[in-house]
Amino acid sequence: MFSIRLTAVALLPVLSLHSASAANLLRRSPSKGQNAIVQLFEWPWDSVASECTTFLGPAGFGYVQVSPANEHITGGQWWTDYQPVSYNLTSKRGSRAQFASMVSKCNAAGVGVIVDVVLNHMTAGSGVGIGGSTYTKYNYPAVPYTPSNFHYCNGNSAAQISNYGDAYNVRFCELVGLSDLAQEQEAVRKIMAAFLNDLLSLGVAGFRIDAAKHMDPTQINNILGLLTAPFYNTKEVIYGANEAVQPSQYVGSPGDIMEFRATSSLQTYFSSGIAALLIPSPMGAAWGFVDSGIANFIMANQDTERGGTSLTSKAANNAYQLSGIFILGFNYGTPTVFSGYDYSSSDQGAPQDARGLTNAVTCNSNGWRCEHRWNGIANMVAFHNAVGGAALTNIVAGTSQQVAFGRGAAGFLIINNAASAWTKIWTTSLPAGTYCDIIHSNNTYPTTCNGPLYVVSATGMLTASVARYDALAIFTGAASPGTAPNTSASANSTSLLSSNLLASSSQTSSGLPSSSSASSSLPSVTIATAVTSTTSSPTPVSTAVTITFMQTASTASGEVLKVVGSISQLGSWAPAAALPLAPPSTGNAPWTLTVTLPPGTSFAYKFIKVASSGSVTWESGNDRVYMTPGAGTSVTLYGTFGLTGSSTSAVTGAGPATTAASSSSSSAASSPAASSSPVSPPASSSRAYTSPLASSPASTQAASSSLASSPASTQATVTFKESASTTSGEAIKLVGSISQLGNWAPASAVTLTNANSVWSVTLALPPNTAFQYKFTRVKSGTVSWESDPNRLYTTLGQGSSVTLTSTFR
């Protein structure tokens, strides 16, 4: 809702909800595969053009919805855009030439442009428009409209809508005093059609029809019937219980209908329990909403965020980002995500210059929020494009705030809106393979997914732990490391799209909780009146993790010690594919093997003794379990054959990225709060990773941490070695999510000791404990955080000793 204020008159709230969807003249939803829409609210044309080229196209967005392009009244309030003065293409956002250039550039990037159009009404007063056209209420020479072209609500020119139980009152009286156009007049319809055809001639893909609820659907059809090129459209028809005008009355009109009940349902159930969005029946037509094929499902827009009828970017516990992840992963309607700006009053428009023109957009600066660039939202566009229209499958709930579902054999999504981690073995319909979690990928386009890797077994089983207020999404387009979908079409069509997995620009997303915020690296761009990113790209690091196994074992003559495990690099539990360790150099030395593994990968493993005859002896006890830390890390795993331990630890997924970019503040707000302690996965009668091996003596295998060779110690020893060049007086410190690392408080960070630019510290930490951490530079009280994402590690069992080697990011 918003209120329009004129010089001397305060008018009533207006429900003019602006978002986007698209429908071809002969189709009810976008015809191309990439149909995700982003509403760039009040963005100027040059900034939209740059965003299409540098971000939206590569991200896989199919459409961008822009604010009204035609001349409107002047003023700093956002709602001035929704009081037309003429249909000349001059607005706060730029000239006709700038608009045409923007459309051309967006089309070349594979992003269709949807324009918000106001056909229901003109202004509430008199004056001079943003383009210099003079007007009075009911008289608009630049169109031209005269007083005879308007409704007067039973002859009373001052009458406003007063009864939503009366369809005539809703459609023929004035919406908060705005002069109400008479679309039943042929002359009016022809003028409106000429305006829309002008937009189409410039290459526009379609329209979002503002205040369609206040127009007769028959007359909307008559106007659209005069258009001369294919187009998309969606209509703003706000549901009201027991009202005379309902969304269902617009079903016969070509195009989509904005389903605000779905939007408000996100707000309701992200508070009371998201499982209800799918159980017992998934949200959609079964709930009385318009059919999915004609629904435009928006996460929010400028009205709902101001009117309190949707989640907002400031919602607690990452709920806003999780809701965006949900609508892009769910299978209801055409999704629209919203990108707005900060405001101190509900009327406040986007930042303007002295001429009343909108300033260029710089994300995360001057109030521009750029929510569409948050990792979880931006990267889920690739998931949405990959799963297409695949049906919902494998729906499961944990608590009322935990839900997971598949999209057939194409993808699987887990959303944990609870305050503790969710660890489970899920049944999916995915093919067996190694999958990349797209939500936590922070690669810059057009490269590939570099999020944590997860293994789906031959029976479709997925073992993972999702942190509190976080999510995990995998799909077949990113089924193995170093691969990503890449779909493209001719640059001559608005249906073209080059879709690559990516992360959002190099800014820290605002409004995210500390446990799961989004940041990544987009090359810095500086273009006049264009979007610019505010930080530089991170230095590339190694994409692999080096793991050294050091295992003490007594062997018979001719026996060889080997390691075998649940991932392909360790033989996928096949003894014939097991990796041999090098024998000890002396009698008491351990067997050793060094391998490179993908980062962020959970796996189970065991050691076996293989005799010269080929017979295999498995070590007894539970499977050992480990998750590799971040890229470029080196880890040594110590243990003794047969001492696998009895305590279990979670197979954890990667932690969320943090908001901790470079900071001049030492407050805890610079970094995330700790994720909750991991939950132990249940024991199983078969391996959680593959089918059980007949040759293994243990018929029941539960995930377990490896024990080091010195079981007497009750702690796990971890040595951190960080390569970092520093200036005089600068120190490297370590801070993380557990008390031993300061609980993310920079003042409690652990100081490392420098030796030839390698900073190190050895700590005794609790065994079998998952934690997140980062390194900081501290000089004269100023703290600078290394770039995202958080590093993640799970300590081994009692008495273990591990060295983590890495480079400051």
Find out whether 661 and 519 touch, Cβ atoms under 8 Å.
Answer: yes
Q: Which of 73, 207, 213 is nearest to 140 (CA)?
A: 73
353 is catalytic: no
Q: Which of 681, 698, 571 is nearest to 625 (CA)?
A: 681
How many residues are given for the chain? 809
Strand ranges, E, within 71-195: 112-118, 127-128, 134-135
At a CB cut-off of 8 Å and minimum separation 6, what does 575 contact?
Answer: 562, 564, 608, 610, 616, 693, 695
From 71, 210, 256, 619, active-site residue: 210
Q: Token pair for residue 544?
A: 């692999």
- Dihedral of alpha carbons 762, 763, 768, 772, sign: negative
210 is catalytic: yes
Q: What DSSP line would sit under 129-144, residue for residue?
A: -TTS-EEBTTBBTTTT
Cα separation, 604 vs 648, in Å, equals 12
Cα separation, 339 vs 369, in Å, equals 7
Cα separation, 690 vs 151, in Å, equals 71
Cα angle vertex 96, ends 94, 101, to 5°?
85
At a CB cut-off of 8 Å and minimum separation 6, what does 311 contact?
Answer: 266, 267, 270, 299, 300, 319, 320, 323
Q: What DSSP line would sit under 647-659, residue for residue?
A: -------PPPP-S
Cα separation, 465 vs 545, in Å, equals 20
- State the CB neighbour count (10 A cutoff) for residue 685: 9
Q: Which of 44, 56, 49 is nearest to 90 (CA)?
A: 44
Q: Token pair for residue 689?
A: 């990773």
Q: Token pair for residue 764?
A: 């005794």
Cα separation, 501 vs 486, in Å, equals 8
Evaluate the omega torsion of the peptide bond into residue 254 and state whether it is cis, within 30 degrees of 0.
Answer: no
Instruction: Label residue 42 left, alpha or beta by phi (over 0 means left) and psi (-120 to 50 means alpha).
Output: left
Cα separation, 178 vs 160, in Å, equals 8
From 46, 180, 236, 619, active-site residue: 236
Cα separation, 335 vs 19, in Å, equals 10
Q: Which residues are catalytic?
A: 210, 236
